[in-house]
Amino acid sequence: MATITTRDGVEIYYKDWGSGQPILFSHGWPLNGDSWESQMLFLADHGYRVIAHDRRGHGRSSQPWHGNDMDHYADDLAELIEVLDLRDLVLFGFSTGGGEVARYIGRHGTDRVAKAGLISAVPPLMLKTESNPDGLPIEVFDGIRAGSVADRSQLYKDIAGGPFYGYNRPGAKPSQGIIDAFWMQGMMAGHKSAYDCIAAFSATDFRDDLKKFDVPTLVLHGDDDQIVPIGAAGLASAKLIADAKLVVYPGAPHGLADTHKDQLNADLLAFLRS
């Protein structure tokens, strides 16, 4: 297993496939780097070096009691980039991983970054506040926290079997394999780490981070995303990022890296080559 150890002693697992211009993928909650495998396999086959890490507290990485927040996630990402000496780098972040990418650029800049992509991503801010009236009310996230404490195994099955992949929509054809993969990855995450991450992805304000983006950026979102609604997320991010390229998938759910993987793969490759 390939790992690095951060300055505060957390072991971060990563996979590193292929060769060429490097692409680093940041995953969603409560998943790990395996959630990007369809894109990694495709892009490695097309001449890119693809890297995905398991965020602290998730997957095969350490499960620290403290530091499960966006600043630490972004700093872990920076340490991985520095250890691997990645340059001319493309950063793709899905959901919570999009927040990680945004906070990385906000804290560490774009000296090593050539392009970025926010896929079904949580920025600018998911939580409804006075300055963010289109966000989701705190009760939504309190409910996720309550479900996590009560029976997180069932919570993950309910999320995957329902709104995450749009399997609760009329005519949907659920894949038990995709549901099982989500559940398995979720249960690999540390209970405390996954619980803390709910606040990290919902209540972190990325508006100032997005204003620091100065590289070509793809903002891609499904307009039937029931987890991270497009209005307060993708559409709002595209307005804050200078010259962002906005791509909307009609009818697509949150988990489009699986449900629309062929379309997403083609769009990522086109963006990389543009």
Give the pLDDT of residue 178. Answer: 98
pLDDT exceeds cutoff 90 at 58:
yes
Give the pLDDT of residue 248. Answer: 98
- What six digits make up the tokens of 118? 């926010």
Question: In angstroms, rounded to a whole number, what is the distance separating the alpha carbons of residues 15 and 223?
Answer: 31
Q: In this predicted model, what pLDDT tens digit does every residue of 126-175 receive, in sequence order?
A: 999 999 999 999 999 999 999 999 999 999 999 999 999 999 999 999 99
Phi, psi of 80 (to 5 degrees): -65, -45
pTM of full prediction above 0.85:
yes
Query: Is 221 one of the catalytic residues?
Result: no
- What six digits make up the tokens of 138? 């705190």
Catalytic residue among 75, 76, 196, 225: 225
- What six digits make up the tokens of 23? 């692409």
> Which CATH number is 2-273 given?
3.40.50.1820
Question: In angstroms, rounded to a whole number, what is the distance separating the alpha carbons of residues 229 and 217?
Answer: 20
Q: In this predicted model, what pLDDT tens digit does every residue of 216-262 receive, in sequence order?
A: 999 999 999 999 999 999 999 999 999 999 999 999 999 999 999 99
Query: Is 95 one of the catalytic residues?
Result: yes
Catalytic residue among 75, 254, 260, 267: 254
Question: In angstroms, rounded to a whole number, what is the distance separating the alpha carbons of residues 109 and 212?
Answer: 8
Query: Is 254 one of the catalytic residues?
Result: yes
Question: In angstroms, rounded to a whole number, what is the distance separating the alpha carbons of residues 118 and 173?
Answer: 27
The residues spanned by each domain of the chain are 2-273
Q: Are 120 and 26 in contact (CB under 8 A)?
A: no
Catalytic residue among 26, 61, 62, 95: 95
Q: Give the position of tokens 């086959």.
A: 45
Give the pLDDT of residue 1. Answer: 76
Phi, psi of 235 (to 5 degrees): -65, -40
Give the pLDDT of residue 6. Answer: 98
Question: In angstroms, rounded to a whole number, what is the distance separating the alpha carbons of residues 3 and 12?
Answer: 5
